[in-house]
Amino acid sequence: MTDPFIQTANRLQTLTKVMSTKAQIAQTPKELVWALNKAKLYRYTPVVPAEKRHPVPLLLVFALMNRPYILDLRPGHSFVEFMVKQGYDVYLLDWGAPGPEDKKLKFDDYTLDYMPRAIRKMKAISGSEEFSLLGWCIGAILTSIYSALRPDDGLRNLILLTAPLDFSNKQGMTFSKWVDERYFDIDKVLAAFGNMPGEMIDYGAKALKPVENYVTNYLKLWDNLDDPRVVEAWHAMNTWVTDNVPLAGGAFRQLIVDLYRHDKLMKGELVIRGERVDLHNIRANLLTVIAEGDHITPPCQSEPIMAKVSSEDKEVFRVNGGHIGIMAGSGAAKLTWPHINHWLAARSR
């Protein structure tokens, strides 16, 4: 029988380690192939011989205000690792952390300066004129805008994960209430901070479910300190959750004013560098993945794009889970990843 004092000491040591260190994350081998300002394009080292690989490369675009390594969290629990093993030529666009000099960056810059250049580089390396895009969360907004503005740029497949695109249902979105112009003075916030601080964004995301995020999450760890599998998963996720990135002021203003308040993208009124974004221009094969239990991007925000696009080949895939859980949770490797692979493999030949 283990001495209860030793057991308690072991538990406390584990707790201290998990709370005070960062987990080993993003370990799938990759190479930096392009950079512009803070943005970096990585190519993951293929493990499948070139002749057996899918010829159409896949570019992953994550949100602006979180680190993209949630897509490559830890070995054996990594979407990137999974897709590389399935024979895809996988690229990741990491937006980096904007500094004070980037406070004017808008969706315009991300979609018309950064993305086309990163895609050009990807095409040059892969030797393929066609490519697939996967956008998650705000990354899905960027990929949708890009796809609508540059429909002839070679985009064959578009995958949108938990995409916040429709902002018409104000009652269904807690964020929408918080950033209502009666209560939230965006000019004052951006005048004070320049960029939207990562800590404020993190607070906003956690405050949607305060008990789960501030209490239950830690109790779950405490209850499972003796289970290395749970501890390892918790540690990796906590490393990601606490690694916040500010959101460029210009992009934050567009997100709040143009999208949350005026729903311009879905109404066809969003103008990016003088060009109106018409979702009808999207003709690529489209897969929209919706998390049924998503409290950050409720399903009502993701589905309406299906009726707007011109794509003949389009599909909605619903998964039980939350905003992050559908791609990084315990069920992701059994449900979401295989479905994405199955859908994409048939369209990447």
Provide the β-strand partners of residue 15. none
| Phi and psi angles of residue 20, each rounded to the nearest 5 degrees, phi first | -115, 0
Considering beta carbons, is residue 31 or 101 the nearer one to another protein? 101
| Closest CB 2 distance from another protein, rounded Å | 11
Instruction: Please name the residue that has the structure tokens 């030949």.
Output: 349
State the Cα–Cα distance between residues 195 and 253, nearest whole angstrom: 10
| Closest CB 192 distance from another protein, rounded Å | 5
State the Cα–Cα distance between residues 243 and 101, nearest whole angstrom: 21
Q: Does the annotation count 323 as an active-site position?
A: yes
Provide the β-strand partners of residue 315. 287
Provide the β-strand partners of residue 36. 39
Considering beta carbons, is residue 224 or 310 the nearer one to another protein? 224
Q: At what angle do helices 4-20 and 228-241 cross, to 10 degrees?
A: 30
State the Cα–Cα distance between residues 164 and 172, nearest whole angstrom: 12
**Which residues sit at the interface with another protein, rule CB under 8 A?**
34, 36-37, 99-101, 104, 112-113, 116-117, 120-121, 123-129, 150, 153-154, 174, 177-178, 180, 182-185, 188-189, 191-192, 207-212, 215-216, 219, 223, 273-275
Which pairing describes strands 131-136 and 271-272: parallel, antiparallel, or unpaired? Answer: unpaired
Active-site choice (89, 108, 258, 294): 294
Active-site choice (54, 77, 235, 323): 323
Q: Are 306 and 282 in contact (CB under 8 A)?
A: no
Q: At what angle do helices 138-149 and 115-126 cross, to 10 degrees?
A: 80
| Phi and psi angles of residue 55, each rounded to the nearest 5 degrees, phi first | -70, -20
| Closest CB 306 distance from another protein, rounded Å | 27
Considering beta carbons, is residue 153 or 303 the nearer one to another protein? 153
Active-site choice (137, 166, 202, 235): 137
Considering beta carbons, is residue 190 or 241 the nearer one to another protein? 190
State the Cα–Cα distance between residues 148 and 280, nearest whole angstrom: 7
Q: Is the dihedral of CA 69, 75, 77, 83 positive or negative?
A: positive
| Closest CB 91 distance from another protein, rounded Å | 14
Considering beta carbons, is residue 203 or 262 the nearer one to another protein? 203
Q: Does the annotation count 185 as an active-site position?
A: no
| Closest CB 73 distance from another protein, rounded Å | 25
Which pairing describes strands 275-276 and 285-291: parallel, antiparallel, or unpaired? Answer: unpaired
| Closest CB 338 distance from another protein, rounded Å | 30
Alpha carbon distances (Å) from 293 to 34, 121, 207, 321, 337: 36, 37, 16, 5, 18
Considering beta carbons, is residue 191 or 346 the nearer one to another protein? 191
Q: Does the annotation count 77 as an active-site position?
A: no
Query: Which of the residues are catalytic?
Result: 137, 294, 323
